Chain A
Amino acid sequence: MSTLPRPDGPPSPLRWRAAGLLPLVASAVALAVASPLVFVGVQAAQAGRDQAQRLLGRPLIATLLWNTATLALAVALATTVLGFGAAYLVERTDLPGRRWWTVALALPLAVPEFVRGYSWVSLTGSVRGYWGAVLVMTCSLYPLVFLPVAATLRRADTAAEEVSRSLGRGPFATLWRVTLPLTRPALAGGALLVSLYLLGEYGAFAMLRFTTFATAIFSQYKLGFDAASAALLTLVLVALALLLVGLEAMAGRRGRTARRATAGRRAAPVGLGRWTLPAQAALGTLVATALGVPVYALGYWLVRGSSTTLPQASMLTAALTTLGYAAMAALVATAAAVPVALYAWRRGSRLARAAESAAYITRALPGIAVALSIVYFAIRYAQPFYQQPPMLVAGYVVLYFPLALTAVRAALAQVPPGVEEVARSLGTRPAAVLARVTLPLVLPGLGAAAAMVALTASTELTATLLLRPTGTETLATQFWIYTSGLAYGAAAPYAALMVAMSVPPVLLLTRRTLGADSPEEAS
């Protein structure tokens, strides 16, 4: 649908102006959000060829690549197995209490990775290094596979599985040959998200003393003051991220036609029989490890109380600062997402799709890359803003723009198709249609989008450490200062508050991914 039927008669100038404005704004926003890449490149070019060759030839790069690749492989594998297994149990079997399991299985997302690292490290010294990183990151990230797979299973037509049974394939053969292939796009997407998170994570790995690209870049920049090396490493990191996106696009291309269930009918769940207890035990172990340990650690340190020799900071100040920045970022990100989403929603033209996918690419950019690119931009072109509040807000906006875009698109999807055309046919001008019809319809969705961005940004650590104005502490950075000083007790309230703030967006995400309808409980 790249060509639209021309209206008869001479086009009014107003119509043309209104039609031309939206693509312009949408493209500008998409460009602005995708631009960080350019600044990393510019900064890396400063290094010069010799330095670049020397740096990239160092064994450090090989170590980092090895660490990152082996970690990504192990965690992607573990999260895929756990995520699919849990989703299958919850969506396709007669496991008792499936609704509660769904929530409990998604909730570990509410514990930021660096808080999870803290909860293990503060309790036992043995969780560290490679296996510690695998454990902590698997616990943190398996919901990213679980949720999309569960959503696919819930929406997909169960008829294919029934047909497989009628063709003589038992429950296990059907699981392997029909259900698993059905979820392949969701599995690939989930594994991609997991790998991208792994590439960008700094806090947890720093705490677990495991070196990856993110920690190396951070120490080059913050401790070594070597901006050029940091930029070069960031480029490698970004290349890895884009490579992953490409791989996922290839894996997701085949069999993407999982059909939606047409009738409301769902197949009878697979009876677990004597496997009910082992299945419950397995899910129980998973939830206990992923959710129980952090909750226990936080409780333990909250009760033990402050154990610091560092000066006590005011938690209220940190909380207010955090909320202020997060709210500002949410406002800007949501407002910026509206034109892009609106443009893509109204017409599926190639330009609209390109603008949208350019915006989504930033999702692949590790937080540390975004933060550094903004630092470089400020140093070069916007000196007055360097280490000023707008820089941190800009960082959050770029980081969470894809999140806002997804939420705004979800809100737009609720608008019945054709209402804008109907309003136009009733003689309303385009701007008035937007103000009187479209925006009122999506307003609740915009609120949800903003809340989601605000709450997610409240627990951001990596970019905040790099971008915050001197002397400003958010909950995450204050927590970071305490844990770096081994003041686990003093850090606990900050961590607890961040976890509490993350619960609503996680519940919202779960609800939005799986849809409002919950699986019927077997009676």
Chain B
Amino acid sequence: MSGLVITGLRAAHGRTEILSGVDMTVADGALACVLGPSGCGKSTLLRVMAGFHPAADGEVALGARLLDDGRRRLPAERRRIGYVPQDGALFPHLTVAGNIGFGLPRGRRREKVAELLALVGLDGLGKRHPHQLSGGQQQRVALARALATEPELLLLDEPFAALDAALRTELRAEVAATLRRAGATAVLVTHDQEEALSFADTIAVMRDGRIAQQATPRQLYQEPADTGIARFLGEANLVPAALTADMAVTAFGSLPLTATTAGGDRHGPVLLRPRQLRLSPEPRPGAIRARVETCRFRGHDHRIELRPTVPDGLPDVLIVYSDAPWDAAEAYVEAQGPAHAMDEPGSGDRDRSRDHGMATF
């Protein structure tokens, strides 16, 4: 019962290598998320797991079963892996009940279909055809269809991407709850960090065909492995610091570190999330004077951009989230620890990810 284990997985489209050594594990009953910008290979990874794309090298194993090692490949229909594609891909010629019952033996269909309709909250819609359903309902049917055969693993390929924002949030929570209730092991692929953070027990961040970091959502957000991941998961203030074993000396003064760093004193960036910065109207110890550039109301809070008056090696713009608006032209910014020390993005890929722009990574 060791769940899904992927080791050293390589895969290619023609001569282009898409996956170059993916390592990833998903424990039994966990909801995992593969997060990455478009084109990073996350969908290919999903398709290799499902058996729609061959592995070139490495191993994919589920429980005690080897699924693919680049030579022997278990056909998709014998893997017991459910699959929910991006837009549901319901069979247009079958009713909702026909869709859900598709993978079931004839005798068990009626009872099981009713049960699943109830599970996804679509009682009484069994006789409808897919085109008579809304987008959200179609996705629920697709989920029920995949759950019907009680797969050992469920794969979801950006299943909420085509839905509007409100429905997406709602359905996401609902699907996560349904999967937990069903005790399913699931892997969700997405490029939406908010979706990943709210959905998963564990997130694998993918970059250039490799898993850059796999961790829990909280750990990933607060303690990313490098600056690229830090930026990808949300807005980040990257502040230069002199690091000792458990302290970072920054322009904001001395801050405790999230984890003790090995290997002597050195210099490097530390991460301060926008919520870790506070504004005050008058100078305080450890506070930096800054000019307020913008203050935008976003409903649940305000996003404030500030420009430090003395550069002092700080980033050009500091970002602060604040519950109260800030009307003054200037502010003093102070930081609350702990700060998190990081590497620059993966040494070999550093230049490439810089070229692709910091917005996505």
User: Is B52's beta carbon under 8 Å from chain A?
Assistant: yes
Interface positions, chain B 69-107, Cβ under 8 Å from A, are 75-87, 89-94, 102-103
Closest A-chain residue to B92, C-beta based? A257
Complex Cα spacing A174 to B52, Å: 14
Complex Cα spacing A262 to B157, Å: 13
Complex Cα spacing A256 to B93, Å: 8
Complex Cα spacing A168 to B149, Å: 8
Q: A91-106: contact bitstring with B at CB < 8 Å (1 yes, 0 no)?
A: 0000000000000000
Contacts of A380 in B (CB 8 A): none
Complex Cα spacing A159 to B99, Å: 14
User: Is A304's beta carbon under 8 Å from chain B?
Assistant: no
A264 to chain B, nearest CB (A): 11
User: Is A259's beta carbon under 8 Å from chain B?
Assistant: yes
Is B75 a contact of A165 with CB atoms below 8 Å?
yes
Complex Cα spacing A158 to B101, Å: 20
User: Is B240's beta carbon under 8 Å from chain A?
Assistant: no
Complex Cα spacing A163 to B43, Å: 15
Complex Cα spacing A259 to B129, Å: 14
User: Is A523's beta carbon under 8 Å from chain B?
Assistant: yes
Residue of B51, B54, B93 near A181 (CB, 8 A) is: B93
Is A168 a contact of B78 with CB atoms below 8 Å?
yes
Contacts of B75 in A (CB 8 A): 165, 170
Is B102 a contact of A182 with CB atoms below 8 Å?
no
Q: B129-155: contact bitstring with A at CB < 8 Å (1 yes, 0 no)?
A: 111000000000010011011010001
Contacts of A159 in B (CB 8 A): 85-87, 89
Contact residues on B (Cβ < 8 Å of other chain), bracket? 35 or more
Closest B-chain residue to A181, C-beta based? B93
User: Is A166's beta carbon under 8 Å from chain B?
Assistant: yes
User: Is B285's beta carbon under 8 Å from chain A?
Assistant: no
Is A259 a contact of B92 with CB atoms below 8 Å?
yes
Complex Cα spacing A167 to B76, Å: 8
User: Is B263's beta carbon under 8 Å from chain A?
Assistant: no
User: Is A267's beta carbon under 8 Å from chain B?
Assistant: yes
Q: A258-273: contact bitstring with B at CB < 8 Å (1 yes, 0 no)?
A: 1100110101100000
Given the interface pairs A262-B87, A263-B86, A268-B54, the reply to whether A166 lies near B146 with Cβ below 8 Å is yes
A423 to chain B, nearest CB (A): 32
Contacts of A41 in B (CB 8 A): none
Is A162 a contact of B92 with CB atoms below 8 Å?
no
User: Is B50's beta carbon under 8 Å from chain A?
Assistant: yes
User: Is B291's beta carbon under 8 Å from chain A?
Assistant: no
Complex Cα spacing A166 to B77, Å: 5
Is B77 a contact of A168 with CB atoms below 8 Å?
yes
The majority secondary structure among interface residues of chain B is loop
Complex Cα spacing A106 to B129, Å: 35
User: Is A164's beta carbon under 8 Å from chain B?
Assistant: yes
Is B50 a contact of A254 with CB atoms below 8 Å?
no
A185 to chain B, nearest CB (A): 10
User: Is A160's beta carbon under 8 Å from chain B?
Assistant: yes
Complex Cα spacing A157 to B155, Å: 18
Tell me which of A165, A168, A257 has the highest count of chain B C-beta atoms within 10 A of its own C-beta. Answer: A168
User: Is A116's beta carbon under 8 Å from chain B?
Assistant: no
Contacts of A163 in B (CB 8 A): 83-85, 89, 91, 142, 145-146
Complex Cα spacing A160 to B75, Å: 16
B76 to chain A, nearest CB (A): 4
Residue of B89, B103, B151 near A169 (CB, 8 A) is: B103
Is A258 a contact of B92 with CB atoms below 8 Å?
yes
Is A170 a contact of B77 with CB atoms below 8 Å?
yes
Given the interface pairs A162-B85, A163-B85, A257-B130, the reply to whether A168 lies near B103 with Cβ below 8 Å is yes
Q: A169-185: contact bitstring with B at CB < 8 Å (1 yes, 0 no)?
A: 11000100110011010
Complex Cα spacing A160 to B90, Å: 6
B73 to chain A, nearest CB (A): 10
Residue of B14, B87, B145 near A523 (CB, 8 A) is: B14
Is A168 a contact of B80 with CB atoms below 8 Å?
yes
Complex Cα spacing A255 to B131, Å: 9
Complex Cα spacing A255 to B94, Å: 8
Contacts of B53 in A (CB 8 A): 268
B92 to chain A, nearest CB (A): 4
Interface positions, chain B 1-44, Cβ under 8 Å from A, are 14-15, 43
Complex Cα spacing A263 to B158, Å: 12
Q: A59-70: contact bitstring with B at CB < 8 Å (1 yes, 0 no)?
A: 000000000000
Given the interface pairs A159-B89, A255-B93, the reply to whether A167 lies near B50 with Cβ below 8 Å is no
B175 to chain A, nearest CB (A): 17
Complex Cα spacing A71 to B260, Å: 85
Tell me which of B86, B91, B103 has the highest count of chain A C-beta atoms within 10 A of its own C-beta. Answer: B91
Contacts of A267 in B (CB 8 A): 52
Contacts of B162 in A (CB 8 A): 262
Complex Cα spacing A174 to B83, Å: 15
Complex Cα spacing A254 to B132, Å: 13
Given the interface pairs A159-B85, A268-B52, A268-B54, the reply to whether A165 lies near B77 with Cβ below 8 Å is yes
Complex Cα spacing A174 to B102, Å: 11
Closest A-chain residue to B101, C-beta based? A167
Contacts of A157 in B (CB 8 A): 87, 89
Residue of A167, A170, A174 near B145 (CB, 8 A) is: A167
B167 to chain A, nearest CB (A): 18
Is B93 a contact of A166 with CB atoms below 8 Å?
no
Closest B-chain residue to A522, C-beta based? B14
Complex Cα spacing A262 to B158, Å: 13
Contacts of A259 in B (CB 8 A): 87, 89, 92
Is B130 a contact of A162 with CB atoms below 8 Å?
no
B145 to chain A, nearest CB (A): 7
Residue of B80, B92, B155 near A182 (CB, 8 A) is: B92
Contacts of A523 in B (CB 8 A): 14-15
Is B50 a contact of A166 with CB atoms below 8 Å?
yes
Contacts of B89 in A (CB 8 A): 157, 159-160, 162-163, 259
Contacts of A174 in B (CB 8 A): 77
Complex Cα spacing A373 to B45, Å: 64
A456 to chain B, nearest CB (A): 34
Is B52 a contact of A167 with CB atoms below 8 Å?
no
Contacts of A162 in B (CB 8 A): 50, 52, 76, 83, 85, 89
A183 to chain B, nearest CB (A): 10
Contacts of B81 in A (CB 8 A): 166
Complex Cα spacing A129 to B176, Å: 67
Complex Cα spacing A184 to B51, Å: 27
Interface positions, chain A 107-128, Cβ under 8 Å from B, are none
Complex Cα spacing A258 to B129, Å: 12
Contacts of B91 in A (CB 8 A): 160, 163-164, 178, 181
Residue of A178, A182, A262 near B86 (CB, 8 A) is: A262
Interface positions, chain A 195-237, Cβ under 8 Å from B, are none
Contacts of B77 in A (CB 8 A): 165-170, 174
Is B93 a contact of A182 with CB atoms below 8 Å?
yes
Contacts of A254 in B (CB 8 A): 93
Contacts of B80 in A (CB 8 A): 168
Closest A-chain residue to B88, C-beta based? A159
Given the interface pairs A157-B89, A258-B92, the reply to whether A167 lies near B54 with Cβ below 8 Å is no
Q: List 27 A-B contacts (CB under 8 A).
A: A157-B87, A157-B89, A159-B87, A160-B89, A160-B90, A162-B50, A162-B76, A162-B85, A162-B89, A164-B102, A165-B75, A166-B51, A166-B79, A166-B146, A167-B82, A167-B145, A167-B148, A167-B149, A169-B102, A174-B77, A181-B93, A256-B92, A258-B92, A262-B86, A262-B87, A265-B43, A523-B15
Besides the known contacts A162-B76, A169-B102, 17 further A-B residue pairs in the complex with CB atoms under 8 A apart = A159-B86, A160-B92, A163-B84, A163-B89, A165-B75, A165-B77, A166-B50, A166-B76, A166-B151, A167-B148, A168-B103, A169-B103, A181-B93, A256-B92, A257-B92, A259-B92, A262-B86
6 closest A-B pairs by CB = A167-B103, A159-B89, A255-B93, A166-B83, A165-B76, A159-B85
